[in-house]
A = this chain, B = another copy of it.
Amino acid sequence: MQKSIRKIAITGGTHGNELTGVYLINKFKTDPAIVKREGFETIIMHTNKKAIEKCTRYIDNDLNRAFGEKDLEDSSRSSYEDISAKLINQLLGPKGTDNPNVDFIVDLHSTTSNMGLSVVIDIDSQLAWQVAAYLKDTEPKVNIFRWMGDTGDAPFVNSVAKNGFAIEVGAVPQGVLRADLLFETEKLVHHILDFFEKLNKGEFEKSYKNIEIYDFVELVDFPRGEDGNIIAMVHPQLQDNDYARIKKGDPLFISLGGEIITYDKDEAIYPLFVNEAAYYEKGFAMCLARKRRIELEA
């Protein structure tokens, strides 16, 4: 694990209608002292400025799927988000190098799913696991989700540094600022800064040996008709119940006509990102995950 930190980045507005991150960055920009700590530099950045202005998820395509290594090198990719991704990669990365410009990226997101305070880890970074374990230790209600993303190759903003993760908070509608979740997210940012300060000062003695995570298993789409239209909704019993275990026979969906569709596998499992607005167009209604404890390298 990396033992010394020079520079980290807190990014927000990767999706322009996820206002928690957008406004936390506004707050930090207005008063940079809030995120200033001894021993390392904290960069504050809005990643998708045009989408923020328009309060929309993206202008041309999802910025948080634009950081695949091949896509970053593909000069034919020139949408607003593709260009932005390349610029962010130059500023904070570049991706894949041993010595990126920042040591850690925390990308702030929100979700319409009732995900509470979640950390989404998509890279195999021991430093990221240690920060996540510290967060969970400090704020027990934090949950850790290991997910390579819906495209499978972790093309997320935070992937351009060797270490980092996304924070997802919810439930909050797109285009809405909820005070409670903004302050809770800010608290997590402070814990992360504390961690790096302690690490640099050699005060972070306790290296976590293992961590409880939710590990990605599969995506489940809505039942759809021949025309592609959704014909069944998330069942009320599942709605708002992210991270609650379901077993064979439990309801997943209810059709517009009232017919119930159940979960039919033998393994009990944990639904996450249940009914996230942005995932309708991606074609999934929820992620299913396995709860497990994984060993960490010291």
Contacts and interface: CB of A to CB of B under 8 A. Distances in A.
Contacts of A183: 258
Contacts of A230: 23, 177
A42 interface: no
Contact of A175 (B229, B236, B258, B278): B278
Given A26-B229, A27-B257, A257-B27, A281 B177 contact: no
Contacts of A256: 23, 26-27, 30, 182
Contact of A177 (B30, B175, B233): B233
B112 A277 contact: no
B178 A239 contact: yes
Total identical chains: 2
A183 to B, nearest CB: 8
Interface string A41-56: 0000000000000011
Interface of A: 23, 26-27, 30-31, 55-56, 112, 171-180, 182-183, 229-230, 233-236, 239, 254, 256-258, 275, 277-278, 280-281
A176 B57 CA distance: 14
A236 B23 contact: no
A101 to B, nearest CB: 28
Contacts of A235: 179
Task: Summarize A's interface: helix, strand, loop or mixed.
Answer: loop
Given A256-B23, A257-B27, A281 B239 contact: no
A236 B277 contact: no
Contacts of A23: 230, 233, 256
B27 A179 contact: no
Contact of A180 (B176, B239, B257, B281): B239
7 contacts: A27-B257, A31-B257, A112-B176, A178-B234, A179-B239, A182-B233, A183-B258
Contacts of A176: 112, 173, 275, 277, 280
B55 A280 contact: yes
Contacts of A281: 55
B112 A280 contact: no
A-B interface, 3 closest residue pairs, ranked by CB to CB distance from nearest: A173-B173, A175-B277, A179-B233
